[in-house]
Structure 1
Amino acid sequence: MTLDNPATEADLLVIGAGAAGMTAALVAAHEGLRVVLCEATQQVGGTSATSAGTLWIPGNPHGVAAGHADTVDAARIYLDALIGEPDHDGRREAFLCSGPAMLRYLEARTAVKFASAGMHPDYLPHLPGAAVSGRAVSPLPFDGRLLGADFGRVRPPLPEFMLLGGMMVGKADIAALVGRYRSWRAFAHSARLVLRHAGDRLRHPRGARWVMGNALVGRLLHSLRSAHVDLRFGWRLRTLEGEDGRVVGARLETQGRSLLLRTRLGVVLATGGVGHDAALRHSMAPHGPTMLALAAEAVRGDGLGTGRAVGAAMTSLARPFLWQPVSLVHRKDGSTGLFPHLFLDRAKPGLIAVDGQGRRFVDEAASYHHFVEGMARAGAVPAHLVCSTAFIRRHGLGAIPPGTRDLRPWLERRMLVVAPTLQALAQASGLPARALADTVQHHDHHARRGEDPDFHKGASVFDRFNGDPAHAPNPCVGPIGPGPYAAMKVWPGDAASSAGLATDVDGRVLDAQGSAIEGLYACGNDAGSVFQGHYPGPGATLGPGMAQAYRIALHARARAPSDIRG
């Protein structure tokens, strides 16, 4: 099949090759449907590829097999307490029922495999029904070499999340690399990583041992190729085509040509949500231009715009985004990137976050989403992470890795401020010197005893999970201590949009009257969040997105005429 003579009709047309879109296409193909999957760029994965790759799936089979005390019933209680509204449309219940089934389906038929993430607490562990372990699953590492000529088709991780010219590392790898001289096990683990990477780089532009989001996307791509799905790169959605009140196809642009692809069962929108759509961001972002997007650059609201053009309704949420604090990375090649501050620095002892008045405003160890909510409440935009240079050597700070002693390259790229005294740090950072000194003195007075009476950092199991287990009595609280001191600005950033197209339990897009638009589905960030802008735990975007994609594929197949079902 060539561009000169591509197939112009499919049973199901999926737009967008992130994790949700790839799942919808993969399940539909295994159900016997003829699927065309169109991706606007030359690589699959989108924002999913640069994520942690974790899925939040209560009652999942891996957690149950590992003996973790988690049930769907408990998760139902947790979500009711978190969201605080009845599940009138049944979407929460549909997710809870379909998540485990989706995992079992993929693992039985495809190369998409997971393992329990073990202890990975929900983000609000004080709520009833919250779990400490069992709800999160992670993709098994994937050997990118299995993709052959498709190796370069997977969007790589953020450069700052790779070492030694393209080596991917997970949380366990980081611990081993940082402590490589502290134990034989850590040294052996580190040596295996480096030797494997050295061998990979002889044949590939980056490492072939993929973890986190790259592992998930790599496994999905490998499975799509095995299922012979018609995957088209460089096909961008322009409009949806309707006849007699039903969506019957889409017009896409590729290589300067506009082509119509018709579909017998429907179009699935999975283009990534709001992303960098300036108009939508302006209407939704509470911080205006100071709120930055971590979405893939190609995510520009295509699905939302075309859906609304045929009458789709948007969810109306007070929390339209899922947030992460980010710092600016000025790279050696002159480009600027965003580094998400997830767990490597904020939860560790010896660091505080202050607002523009030099005052603390939040539990620094809170989840990334809730940390940014704290920024919004306090008007701390930007906020400053304050620590000592000794802290950076031990734990790192943002894109600066643990073990860094020479901070000059980072100073030259204007990524942080370093000063011998707090007064000098405040002056260089534009903070009130007296207030910053008082804040640090007050913090350190209590921190010497491992206490934080103001914000209770380290009081929850979630905080302690990301702290320093070698630090006692509180793994998250310790004095900043003597200088030199460092400060780094962080800004609100969004990893995904919560607001999206209104959908029903099977992913059918709804109009303003709540009726389904025949032939139109949405999943991933193109669909409004099942959690209504709340963030229950790790993987709260990928889990529901892939579960809804699974339901869409099964719904489309169930509605197929007998000649399609075979």
Structure 2
Amino acid sequence: MTTSAHEFFGRLTSGAEYDVAVLGAGAAGMAAALHAALDGARVLLVEKTEYVGGTSALSGGTTWVPLTRYEKDASIHATQPDSYEKVSGFLDRAVGEHAPAYMREAFLKAGPEAIHKLVDNTEVQFRVCAFHPDYMADLEGAVTCGRALEPLPYITRHLGDNLKLLRPPIEEFTVLGGMMINREDIGHLLKRFQTFESALYTVRLGMRYVWDRIRYGQTARSVMGHALIARMLASALKLGINITVNTEATAIVPMGKGVNRLTLSQNGQSKDVVVKGGVILAGGGFGRDPQKRAAFYPKGMPPYSPTGPGCTGSAHRLAEALGAFYGSAEDQPAFWAPCSTRKRADGTTAVFPHFVFDRAKPGIMSVDQDGNRFVNESQSYHEYGKAQLNSGGKANPAWIIADAKAIAKFGLGMVRLGGDPLGPYLKDGYLLEGKTLDELARKLGVNADNLKAAVAQMNAAAHSGVDEKFHRGSNFYQRANGDPQHTGPNPNLGELATAPFYAVRLYPADIGTSKGLMADENAQLIRADQQPIEGLYACGNDLNSIMGGKYPGPGITIGPGIVFGYLAARHACQRARGELAAPAPRVANL
């Protein structure tokens, strides 16, 4: 009988030997553990929180890995063929000198194998969307689909008590108190009173959720990032990976030839294990560490973050003591998104990332604290957050504004699309309302003339289809996030003309660190003298991002996280089997 992850530490024998130990159970860490187990290694997966999944379980789960077989499955190859040269050139133009080119090369060459091996041997399954564009759509080599994969939904009832290991989704991204939904679900829910097909879909979805709540106390249908983690957990259990939660690594002591003694602690008790092949850091970065936020993030950065609570970088300090160091050439130290906040009934603060559902829609715009537009609202959330941080404080925070028609159709942040009652949001101050633009300006504390001029400029752009100021809706990525049913010349541009007018405050927030520990092409950490730290690896946000703080496409954290988890596991397993030579690493001085 398999020992549960909550009980495993108590049964762990001090001095036990493993081939691979992975510190962190997000998508990158679980991928590393799965790949190591598939290579026949004895694997220990260590998670310091009570849940597996990390930030990945809270995300959309999109996984950017080019050149997989899914490109041809989507029937796009004939009209938009991709190639190593095409995607490599795209990344070179997107990232430039902000991260080492050899890491991009390693990622592109290993990516298809990393994905295919999981799909062919585990519960992990992906599909490619017919239209899921690269974010930097104006760059040569960008594509509209094929590189971004999404995990298939997953029914998790067979996990039984292990369902409780899965990190719950962000409450505000669910409906009915916990039912997860994806874009397909949303489409049917919005049309539930319009078509028989959508009505039936909605009834089945709701009945399944109610039954699961009665039987399991929670939903047993996972979608998006939660589904990816659920699939990985089911696979880890099948492969016999030892999992321990509420457990933290407190020491890594080299014993020679890449063997490490790893000290683990839980509730004041410590135990040592010997790791013959490699210790892989996969703790999700340092975004929850106040000291490193202060040291590396821009001044004036708000404290809000929708990332997983375990992303404290605690294992980084252990690696730094052995000579590991952070990259320093990144464009941004983290990936950003505009987020709104609201106090929940239990006193906690909801931090809601504004990814795609409102910013780029017609009838919605953003202004800074002077009432002026400051950004192309339809570009990526990372670029939006970057614009806030580069505004000299004027857009930190900013305001996102909608007229009555737009908020009824698209929602606004935590105000759900499709006609969510506004009363509760107005009552607690999350949402501000003005019967006129002058009244709204007074409530926001912005210059009324500036606000009215910004709205007039947007209204003129809505008629012409051209945003002369910020070129909103000017490429295929931006238009993908507009309203496909819009009757105007540009799906991103619509008038703000129907009173009353509404606004929500937006803060720039981090959704994952880009700055991380430097490594070679096998994800093995290196010292400042460019020499490898044998037996010590990193993947996910613990590894310096191959994107260098740029955000060229959807899923550029999870995709490389899985691929470098694969590379780390492969190299560590080779060491455990005694197959490694000692080639000099190819590294750059960053």
Q: TM-score, normalised by structure 2?
A: 0.92
Query: Could you tell me which residue of structure 1 aligns to residue 34 of structure 2?
Result: 26
Q: Is 1:436 matched up with 2:451?
A: yes
Matched-pair contact (CA < 8 Å) for 1:112–1:139: yes
Q: Identity rate of aligned residues, in percent? A: 38
Query: Could you tell me which residue of structure 2 aligns to residue 377 of structure 1?
Result: 390
Q: Describe the superposition over 1:454-512 as per-residue Cα deviations: whole angstroms up to 9, x where unpaired.
A: 11211111111111111022111000113111111111111110000001111100111
Q: Is 1:139 matched up with 2:139?
A: no
SS in 2 for 1:96: helix
Provide closer, same or farther for how the CA distance between residues 71 and 64 of structure 1 changes in structure 2, counting only shifts above 3 A: farther
1:483 to 491, 499, 506: 499
Query: Could you tell me which residue of structure 2 aligns to residue 6 of structure 1?
Result: 12
| Cα separation, 2, equivalents of 1:318 and 1:87 | 9
Q: Which runs of 5+ in 2 are unaligned?
A: 581-590
Query: Could you tell me which residue of structure 2 aligns to residue 200 of structure 1?
Result: 212
Provide closer, same or farther for how the CA distance between residues 436 and 239 of structure 1 changes in structure 2, counting only shifts above 3 A: same
Query: Could you tell me which residue of structure 1 aligns to residue 89 of structure 2?
Result: 77
Q: Is 1:178 matched up with 2:184?
A: no
| Cα separation, 2, equivalents of 1:282 and 1:40 | 23
- Matched letter for residue 144 of structure 2: V
2:531 to 509, 515, 520: 515
| Cα separation, 2, equivalents of 1:179 and 1:359 | 36
- Matched letter for residue 180 of structure 1: R
SS in 2 for 1:343: coil
Deviation at 1:95, TM superposition (A): 0.4
| Cα separation, 2, equivalents of 1:88 and 1:351 | 39
Q: Describe the superposition over 1:263-316 as per-residue Cα deviations: whole angstroms up to 9, x where unpaired.
A: 111211111101211111001111434253222112211122221121101111
Moved more, 170-179 or 273-282: 170-179
**Count of matched residue pairs:** 564
Deviation at 1:32, TM superposition (A): 0.9
Q: Is 1:227 matched up with 2:235?
A: no
| Cα separation, 1, equivalents of 2:382 and 2:29 | 24
| Cα separation, 2, equivalents of 1:27 and 1:3 | 23
Deviation at 1:334, TM superposition (A): 2.2
- Matched letter for residue 88 of structure 2: R
1:335 to 348, 364, 368: 348
Matched-pair contact (CA < 8 Å) for 2:99–2:545: no
Q: Is 1:307 matched up with 2:319?
A: yes
2:270 to 236, 258, 261: 258
Query: Could you tell me which residue of structure 2 aligns to residue 162 of structure 1?
Result: 174
SS in 1 for 2:261: strand
1:126 to 122, 138, 147: 138
2:296 to 281, 284, 288: 284
Provide closer, same or farther for how the CA distance between residues 180 and 279 of structure 1 changes in structure 2, counting only shifts above 3 A: same
SS in 1 for 2:229: helix
| Cα separation, 2, equivalents of 1:240 and 1:552 | 17
Q: Is 1:530 matched up with 2:555?
A: no
Q: Is 1:415 matched up with 2:430?
A: yes
Q: Which runs of 5+ in 1 are unaligned?
A: none
Q: Is 1:470 matched up with 2:470?
A: no
Matched-pair contact (CA < 8 Å) for 2:331–2:550: no
| Cα separation, 1, equivalents of 2:295 and 2:267 | 32
| Cα separation, 2, equivalents of 1:5 and 1:336 | 37
CA RMSD of aligned residues (A): 1.8
Provide closer, same or farther for how the CA distance between residues 186 and 464 of structure 1 changes in structure 2, counting only shifts above 3 A: farther
Deviation at 1:333, TM superposition (A): 2.2
| Cα separation, 2, equivalents of 1:244 and 1:406 | 63
Q: Describe the superposition over 1:507-533 as per-residue Cα deviations: whole angstroms up to 9, x where unpaired.
A: 100111111001101001100001111
Q: Describe the superposition over 1:16-47 as per-residue Cα deviations: whole angstroms up to 9, x where unpaired.
A: 11111111111111111111111111210011
2:509 to 471, 480, 493: 493
SS in 2 for 1:240: strand
Query: Could you tell me which residue of structure 1 aligns to residue 75 of structure 2?
Result: 67
| Cα separation, 2, equivalents of 1:48 and 1:387 | 30
Q: Is 1:38 matched up with 2:46?
A: yes
1:55 to 63, 80, 86: 63
Query: Could you tell me which residue of structure 2 aligns to residue 458 of structure 1?
Result: 473
Q: Is 1:367 matched up with 2:380?
A: yes
- Matched letter for residue 422 of structure 1: L
Matched-pair contact (CA < 8 Å) for 2:375–2:387: yes
Deviation at 1:247, TM superposition (A): 5.8
Deviation at 1:86, TM superposition (A): 9.3
- Matched letter for residue 63 of structure 1: E
| Cα separation, 1, equivalents of 2:171 and 2:226 | 13
Query: Could you tell me which residue of structure 2 aligns to residue 218 of structure 1?
Result: 230
- Matched letter for residue 21 of structure 1: G
Q: Is 1:403 matched up with 2:453?
A: no
Query: Could you tell me which residue of structure 2 aligns to residue 544 of structure 1?
Result: 560
Matched-pair contact (CA < 8 Å) for 2:19–2:275: yes
Deviation at 1:329, TM superposition (A): 2.1
| Cα separation, 2, equivalents of 1:264 and 1:438 | 66
Matched-pair contact (CA < 8 Å) for 1:282–1:288: no
Query: Could you tell me which residue of structure 2 aligns to residue 15 of structure 1?
Result: 23
| Cα separation, 1, equivalents of 2:128 and 2:48 | 33
Query: Could you tell me which residue of structure 2 aligns to residue 355 of structure 1?
Result: 368
- Matched letter for residue 138 of structure 2: H
Provide closer, same or farther for how the CA distance between residues 301 and 460 of structure 1 changes in structure 2, counting only shifts above 3 A: same
| Cα separation, 1, equivalents of 2:430 and 2:451 | 20
Matched-pair contact (CA < 8 Å) for 2:388–2:396: yes
Matched-pair contact (CA < 8 Å) for 1:345–1:397: yes
| Cα separation, 1, equivalents of 2:300 and 2:256 | 40
Query: Could you tell me which residue of structure 2 aligns to residue 153 of structure 1?
Result: 165
- Matched letter for residue 456 of structure 2: Q
Deviation at 1:207, TM superposition (A): 1.7
Q: Describe the superposition over 1:310-366 as per-residue Cα deviations: whole angstroms up to 9, x where unpaired.
A: 110111124110111100022122221100000000010001100111000111111
- Matched letter for residue 170 of structure 2: L
Deviation at 1:261, TM superposition (A): 1.8
2:520 to 485, 504, 507: 504
| Cα separation, 1, equivalents of 2:72 and 2:147 | 9
Deviation at 1:11, TM superposition (A): 1.1
| Cα separation, 2, equivalents of 1:270 and 1:218 | 17
- Matched letter for residue 439 of structure 1: A
| Cα separation, 2, equivalents of 1:361 and 1:127 | 23
Moved more, 325-334 or 276-285: 325-334
Deviation at 1:3, TM superposition (A): 4.1
Q: TM-score, normalised by structure 1?
A: 0.96
Q: Describe the superposition over 1:144-181 as per-residue Cα deviations: whole angstroms up to 9, x where unpaired.
A: 21211101110011001110121111112112212222
Provide closer, same or farther for how the CA distance between residues 383 and 250 of structure 1 changes in structure 2, counting only shifts above 3 A: same
| Cα separation, 2, equivalents of 1:158 and 1:192 | 23
Provide closer, same or farther for how the CA distance between residues 318 and 283 of structure 1 changes in structure 2, counting only shifts above 3 A: farther
Matched-pair contact (CA < 8 Å) for 2:46–2:248: yes
SS in 2 for 1:175: helix
SS in 2 for 1:13: strand
- Matched letter for residue 185 of structure 1: E
Matched-pair contact (CA < 8 Å) for 1:157–1:214: yes
